[in-house]
């Protein structure tokens, strides 16, 4: 009994000391033009989670500061220049007033506030740049704050706080990203509108929306994800927007150099080097990455080179020009897929050394920004892609595929596009409203050839001879779009954001392919004959889609949001013509349409951040693989997915000791999802939608002291099907069948001291043998095993 009283008294004294040492900061924010107080101004303590918004009288109050400490206090509101003041706390009650002046020069609004400098994940503000995100479900991953294996772009760790994502682990080097969600295929992230600094980086946004290039995360400032409601501003993709925001030069230094050198298991070596800075009105950043490795399985080595350069010139207070160039090339050997029997016997096995993959990716962009007034701006992004991808491997159409000529599939992409956005802030009855108008012009071009190559095992990406071509096509897409969205601020707490998008899409495909016929010869025997068959495909359509979002913010730390937006997805080049021997193409295939809806609540406190939402995704004429015994890619049926996606992070030490240098955070990311087909065909009606794990959880602990971080993550994904027929028994070739439930753990550590840093960790800590993908063709066919246990060590120097 005595011990219990001593504990209670000690705890009371401890909490009393905390309360006694804390300080209350308050004040009023006024405008220089009117000398009146201003509501809705963000006031924050730089470098901490402390942030409040002024009330109707312009008043704010922040608690939790400590006596004897020095802080930087800032105030910011869009359209006004940010203000910061440095204070030393020498008494328990301090009053600091701010005066805001109208903004007279172009600013990067996203970079102004540093209120979540240590958070690994935040969300997009209502307005950023020339884009509107009010009422939409969004996540922002702050890369520098992660404790993860950035050298290999480890998707499990990087996207661990984004609920509901289904991740394919096709290679352990992170060369290609494969994420999807809500029943959408993760294949090369093709169901997201994938961008870098706001412009396209995929092979073809509509015709071939697969991403063969993934920016090195060591060069990325943040990854922005907006779910299906992004279709109105960014195009008709059911998955939404995935945007990689690249780093810029340090604005406080004319020159800064950073180098990161990583070694790891299976011969991994990664060298990342960058320079950047600000000289006068010019900001510049350039990086080069070289990465190589032998791979976890035999015949899976790779070599990667990536270059990114960006220069931004502020011509005057209103006009900016930015120029960027990206180059990436890699050569990777593919160990091939496994059957179920082969996987369970030896998941590291490889039975071919003849498969290779080569990519050469070049992207250029010119970005123009002009600020008419503090409340009106226009932005123009011009971009072009000149790229190629070549897949070389055994041809399963052959009777003896391992000893006959290999199949080479070669694509050459030449795309250009331009987007213009105009944003205007305006007032109605004293309420601030915003609208954005935009246009998009895009032309995609793909020259695709398939044919016989050499029968060796080297990386010889040449066709045997012109007559060996099995197909030769030129695919083109022309896309013209107009979109508009507007935030109507109905009250101080409630807003409505409607939007529309009008699209004109024209798809053409011209060329030929070798068609196989069986005829009876003069001798009565059946002969196999191939003849060239001409293609002249033209598909024109116009689409009008709309949507609306609402946001209710009862206080500064809580938001209830909802949205519903129509979606549309054009059939791709692969849907028009494919020579994959494992899949037939339905010539009458139609585009997909539908809508997505979200309803959620999100918010944050000094010790808690959370986002819990329910969603419903309706997919009409969903394209997928039917009839596994004789697979055909076709419009299977209508389908829906619905579920709950939730994320919460508890900062346990913030409860006891706010602004402490110690951290102990626990996070949970849980998704419950159900997907079903709706069909008059009894074969599929009521079947589960493929690639929908009913239960998907990622959780972990992040602890540390000052610049030291330690992270432990656990991932669990429930069983999922890979075809619409819900095949329970895997087929002998390993292409179709369920993906069993699996779990995996990752342990990482990071320490940074001024100019020096060290990072290390172990991925797949328990060395689980599992797989996330069954490939119908390249890089399979069959099961693609995920990597076993591996480690990495990174040294970082910055001067």
Stretch (H or E) spanning 18 = helix 2-21
**Whole-number Å distance between alpha carbons of 153 and 736:** 28
Query: What are residue 483's phi and psi, to 5 degrees?
Result: -145, 155
pTM: predicted TM-score of the whole model, two decimal places: 0.87
- CATH code of domain 22-103: 2.60.40.1120
In whole angstroms, what is the distance from residue 307 CA to residue 325 CA? 8
Residue 602 has pLDDT above 50, yes or no: yes
Cβ neighbours for 790, distance < 8 A, ≥ 6 positions apart: 172, 264, 265, 266, 268, 296, 762, 763, 764
Residue, of 236 and 628, whose pLDDT is higher? 236
**What is the average pLDDT score of the chain?**
88
Per the structure block, which two tokens stand in for 717?
A: 């994904």
Residue 239 class from Cβ within 10 Å (0-12 exposed, 13-18 middle, 19+ buried)?
buried
All residues at 6 or more sequence positions from 306 whose CB lies less than 8 Å from its CB, including other chains: 215, 216, 287, 288, 289, 291, 326, 327, 328
Length of the chain: 799
Confidence bin at 32 (pLDDT 50/70/90)? confident
pLDDT reported for residue 47: 62
- For residues 28 and 39, what is the distance between their CA atoms, to the nearest angstrom? 10
- The confidence score (pLDDT) of residue 394 equals 86
pLDDT higher than 60, residue 682: yes
CATH class belonging to 241-798? mainly beta
Over range 354-364, report the average pLDDT. Answer: 97
d(CA 246, CA 353) in angstroms, rounded, equals: 36
Q: What is the pLDDT of residue 19?
A: 41
Residue that is written with structure tokens 């059939």 in the block: 571
CA distance 796 to 788: 26
- Measured CA to CA in angstroms, residue 514 lies from 535, 537, 587 at distances of 11, 16, 16
First-to-last C-alpha distance (Å) of the chain:
59
Does the structure show a pLDDT above 60 at 595?
yes
Cα separation, 791 vs 152, in Å, equals 11
Q: Which of 233, 232, 237 is nearest to 565 (CA)?
A: 232
- Report percent pLDDT > 90 for the chain: 64
Q: How far apart are CA 737 and CA 729, in angstroms?
A: 6
Angle at 111 between CA 105 and CA 116, to 5 degrees: 145
Owner of token pair 């116009």: 542
How many CA atoms lie less than 13 Å away from 158 in the CB half-sphere?
A: 26
What's the whole-number mean pLDDT along residues 56-64?
Answer: 85
DSSP 338: B
Contacts (Cβ under 8 Å, ≥6 apart) of 251: 278, 283
* pLDDT over 60 at 468, yes or no: yes
Answer yes or no: are the C-beta atoms of 481 and 490 closer than 8 Å. Answer: no
Residue 721 near residue 688, CB atoms below 8 Å:
yes
Task: Say how far apart CA 558 and CA 553 lie, in whole Å.
Answer: 6
Looking at residue 45, its pLDDT comes to 84
Q: What is the pLDDT of residues 412-463, one digit of tens each?
A: 999 999 999 999 999 888 888 999 999 999 999 999 999 999 888 999 999 9
Average pLDDT over residues 171-192: 90
Of 481, 516, 521, the residue nearest 499 (C-alpha): 481
pLDDT reading at 16 higher than 70: no
In DSSP notation, 588-604 reads T---EEEEEEEEEEEEE
**Which two structure tokens, joined as six digits, stand for 474?**
């030129």
pLDDT digits 0-9 by tens, 100-117:
887 543 333 433 334 445
User: What's the token pair of residue 528?
Assistant: 């196999």
Per the omega criterion (within 30 degrees of 0), is the bond before 781 cis?
yes
- Range ranked top by mean pLDDT from 272-276, 523-527, 703-707: 272-276
Distance CA 344, CA 353 (A): 21
State residue 18's pLDDT score: 41
**Euclidean distance between CA atoms 375 and 53, whole angstroms:** 20
Q: State how far the Cα of 422 lies from the Cα of 375, in Å rounded to an integer.
A: 11
Neighbours of 348 (CB within 10 A): 16
* Selection from 775, 784, 774, 779 nearest residue 356 by Cα: 779
Model confidence at 710, pLDDT cuts 50, 70, 90, reads very high
pLDDT band at 587 (very low <50, low <70, confident <90, very high): confident
Segment 574-592 shows an average pLDDT of 76
* Position 768 pLDDT exceeds 60: yes
Q: Which of 445, 509, 441, 431 is nearest to 472 (CA)?
A: 509
Which SS3 state, helix, strand or coil, does residue 186 take? coil
Q: What is the pLDDT of residues 519-576, one digit of tens each?
A: 666 665 555 556 678 888 888 999 999 999 999 999 878 999 999 999 999 888 877 7
Cα gap 299→296, rounded to integer Å:
9
Residue bearing tokens 């009371």: 12
d(CA 204, CA 195): 11
CA-to-CA separations, 350 to 233, 417, 672, in angstroms, rounded: 45, 42, 35
Q: How far is CA 115 from CA 43, 68, 93, in A?
A: 9, 21, 22
Kindly report the CA angle at 311 between 307 and 313, in degrees rounded to 5? Answer: 175
d(CA 624, CA 585): 10
Q: How far is CA 344 from the centre of its chain?
A: 32
Q: What is the pLDDT of residue 112?
A: 38
Residue ranges of domains in the chain? 22-103, 241-798
Task: With beta carbons less than 8 A apart as the criterion, state whether 210 and 187 touch.
Answer: yes
For residue 380, give both structure tokens: 């123009």
- Per-residue H/E/C for 120-145: CEECCCCEECCEECCCCCEEEEEHHH
Owner of token pair 């950023």: 128
pLDDT tens readout for residues 257-273: 999 999 999 999 999 99
Q: Which residues pair with 645 in a beta bridge?
A: 613, 671
Structure tokens that stand for 437 in this block: 């108008």
pLDDT tops 60 at residue 173: yes
Task: Note the pLDDT of residue 375.
Answer: 86
| Exposed / middle / buried, residue 715 (Cβ in 10 Å: 0-12, 13-18, 19+) | buried
3-state secondary structure of 340: helix
Query: Parallel, antiparallel, or unpaired for β 632-651 and 608-626?
Result: antiparallel
Split at pLDDT 50, 70, 90, the class of 578 is low
pLDDT(635) > 80: yes
Predicted confidence (pLDDT) at residue 695 exceeds the cutoff of 60: yes
pLDDT(658) > 70: no
Residues paired with 206 in a beta bridge: none
State yes or no: pLDDT of 118 exceeds 80: no
Q: Which residues does residue 710 pair with via DSSP β-bridges, in sequence order?
A: 703, 749
Residues forming a β-bridge with 772: none
With 50 as the cut, is the pLDDT of residue 618 above it?
yes
Q: Please write the tens of the pLDDT for every residue from 729-741.
A: 888 888 889 999 9
pLDDT at residue 84 greater than cutoff 50: yes
pLDDT score recorded for residue 594: 95
Maximum C-alpha span of the chain: 108
At 179 the pLDDT is: 95
Strand 42-45 and strand 51-53: the pairing is antiparallel
Q: pLDDT class for 470, splitting at 50, 70, 90?
A: confident
* Distance separating alpha carbons of residues 787 and 516, to the nearest angstrom: 40
Range 777-784 average pLDDT: 87
Cα 424 from Cα 376, distance rounded (Å): 5
User: In the prediction, which pLDDT does 69 show?
Assistant: 81
Coil, helix or strand at residue 386: strand
CA distances from 16 to 3, 10, 21, 109, 489 (A): 20, 10, 9, 40, 43
């Amino acid at each position: 009994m005595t011990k219990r009283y001593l504990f209670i008294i000690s705890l009371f004294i401890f909490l009393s000391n905390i309360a006694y040492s804390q300080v209350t900061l308050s004040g009023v924010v006024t405008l220089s033009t009117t000398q009146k107080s201003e509501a809705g101004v963000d006031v924050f303590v730089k470098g901490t989670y402390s942030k409040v918004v002024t009330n109707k009288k312009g008043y704010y109050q922040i608690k939790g500061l400590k006596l004897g400490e020095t802080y930087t206090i800032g105030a910011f509101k869009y359209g006004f220049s940010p203000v910061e003041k440095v204070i030393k706390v020498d008494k328990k009650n301090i009053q600091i007033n701010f005066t805001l002046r109208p903004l007279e020069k172009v600013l990067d609004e996203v970079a102004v506030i540093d209120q979540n400098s240590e958070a690994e994940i935040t969300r997009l503000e209502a307005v950023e740049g020339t884009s509107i995100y009010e009422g939409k479900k969004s996540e922002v991953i702050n890369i520098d704050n992660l404790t993860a294996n950035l050298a290999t772009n480890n998707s499990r760790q990087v996207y661990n706080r984004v609920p509901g994502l289904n991740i394919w682990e096709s290679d352990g080097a992170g060369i290609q990203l494969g994420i999807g969600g809500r029943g959408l295929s993760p294949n090369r992230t093709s169901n997201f509108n994938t961008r870098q600094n706001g412009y396209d980086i995929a092979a073809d946004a509509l015709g071939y929306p697969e991403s063969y290039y993934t920016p090195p995360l060591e060069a990325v400032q943040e990854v922005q994800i907006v779910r299906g409601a992004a279709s109105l501003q960014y195009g008709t993709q059911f998955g939404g927007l995935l945007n990689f925001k690249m780093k810029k030069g340090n604005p406080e230094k004319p020159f800064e150099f950073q180098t990161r050198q990583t070694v790891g298991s299976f011969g991994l070596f990664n060298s990342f080097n960058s320079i950047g800075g600000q000289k006068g009105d010019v900001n510049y950043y350039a990086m080069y990455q070289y990465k190589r490795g032998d791979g976890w399985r035999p015949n899976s080595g790779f070599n990667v080179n990536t270059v990114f350069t960006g220069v931004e010139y502020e011509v005057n207070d209103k006009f900016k020009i930015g120029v960027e160039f990206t180059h990436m090339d890699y050569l990777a050997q593919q160990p091939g897929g496994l059957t179920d029997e082969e996987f369970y016997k030896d998941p590291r096995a490889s039975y071919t050394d003849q498969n290779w993959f080569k990519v050469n990716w070049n992207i250029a962009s010119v970005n123009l920004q002009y600020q008419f007034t503090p409340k009106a701006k226009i932005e123009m992004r011009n971009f072009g892609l000149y790229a190629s991808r070549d897949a070389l491997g055994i041809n399963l159409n052959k009777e003896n595929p391992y000893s006959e000529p290999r199949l080479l599939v070669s694509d050459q992409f030449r795309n250009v596009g331009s987007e213009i956005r105009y944003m205007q802030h305006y007032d109605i009855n004293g309420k601030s409203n915003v609208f954005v108008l935009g246009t998009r012009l895009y032309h995609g071009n793909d020259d695709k050839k398939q044919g016989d190559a050499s029968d060796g095992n080297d990386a010889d990406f040449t066709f045997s001879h012109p007559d060996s071509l099995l197909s030769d096509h030129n695919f083109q897409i022309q896309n013209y779009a107009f979109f508009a969205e507007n935030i109507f601020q109905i009250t101080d707490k409630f807003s409505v954001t409607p939007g529309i998008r009008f699209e004109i899409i024209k798809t053409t495909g011209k060329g030929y392919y070798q068609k196989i016929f069986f005829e009876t010869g003069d001798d009565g025997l059946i002969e196999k004959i191939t003849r060239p068959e001409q293609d002249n495909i033209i598909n024109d359509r116009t689409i009008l889609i709309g949507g609306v979002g609402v946001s209710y913010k009862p206080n500064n730390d809580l938001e209830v949001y909802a949205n519903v937006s129509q979606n549309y997805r054009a059939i791709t080049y692969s849907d028009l013509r494919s020579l994959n021997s494992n899949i037939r193409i339905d010539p009458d295939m139609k585009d997909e349409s539908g809508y997505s809806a979200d309803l959620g609540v999100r918010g944050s406190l000094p010790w808690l951040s959370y986002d819990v939402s329910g969603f419903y995704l309706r997919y009409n004429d969903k394209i997928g693989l039917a009839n596994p015994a004789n697979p055909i890619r076709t419009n299977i049926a209508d389908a829906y997915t619905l579920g709950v996606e939730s994320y919460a992070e508890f900062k346990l030490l913030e409860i006891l000791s706010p602004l402490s240098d110690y951290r102990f955070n626990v996070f949970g990311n849980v998704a419950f999802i159900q997907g079903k087909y709706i069909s008059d065909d009894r074969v599929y009606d009521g079947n589960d939608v493929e690639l929908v794990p009913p239960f998907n959880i990622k959780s972990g602990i992040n602890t540390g002291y000052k610049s030291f971080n330690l992270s432990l993550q656990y991932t669990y994904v429930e069983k999922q099907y890979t075809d619409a027929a819900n095949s329970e028994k895997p087929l002998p070739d390993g292409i179709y069948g369920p993906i069993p439930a699996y779990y995996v753990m990752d342990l990482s550590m990071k320490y940074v001291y001024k100019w020096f840093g060290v990072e290390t960790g172990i991925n797949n800590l328990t060395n689980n043998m599992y797989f996330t993908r069954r490939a119908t063709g390249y890089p399979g066919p069959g099961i693609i095993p995920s990597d076993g246990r591996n480690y990495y060590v990174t040294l970082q120097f910055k001067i």
